Structure 1
Amino acid sequence: MKIVALLGRILFALIFILSGISHITGAGVDMTAAAGVPMAGVLVPLAGLLSLAGGLSILLGYKVKIGAWLIVIFLIPVSVALHNFWAVKDPMMAQMHMAMFMKNVSILGGALLLAYFGAGPYSIDHRKG
Structure 2
Amino acid sequence: MSTSTDTIAFIGRCLIAVLLLVSGFGKVVAPTATIAWIASTGLPMPTLADVVFIIIELGGGLLLILGWQIRPVAIVVSVYAIGTAFIFHRHIADHNMLFHFLKNIAVTGGLFQLMAFGAGNLSLDASRVRKSPA
User: 1:43 Cα shift?
Assistant: 0.7
SS at match of 1:103: helix
Show structure 1 runs of 5+ residues with no match: none
The equivalent residue for 1:96 is 96
Instruction: Confirm whether residue 63 of structure 1 aligns to residue 63 of structure 2.
Output: no
With structure 2 as the length reference, what TM-score do the two structures score?
0.81
CA contact (8 A) 1:22 1:48 kept: no
Number of corresponding residues: 123
* Residues 10-46 of structure 1, C-alpha deviations (whole Å, 9 max, x = no match): 1111111222233356251112222332321111211
With structure 1 as the length reference, what TM-score do the two structures score?
0.84
Which has the larger displacement, 9-18 or 59-68?
9-18
* Residues 47-79 of structure 1, C-alpha deviations (whole Å, 9 max, x = no match): 111122221111101111111112112212211
Show structure 2 runs of 5+ residues with no match: 130-134
Q: 2:49 aligns with which of 21, 37, 43?
A: 43
Percent of paired sites with the same residue: 27
Letter in 1 for 2:24: G
What CA distance in whole angstroms lies between the structure 2 residues aligned with 1:116 and 1:28? 33
The equivalent residue for 1:3 is 7
* Residues 86-111 of structure 1, C-alpha deviations (whole Å, 9 max, x = no match): 5xxxx5xx221111101100001111
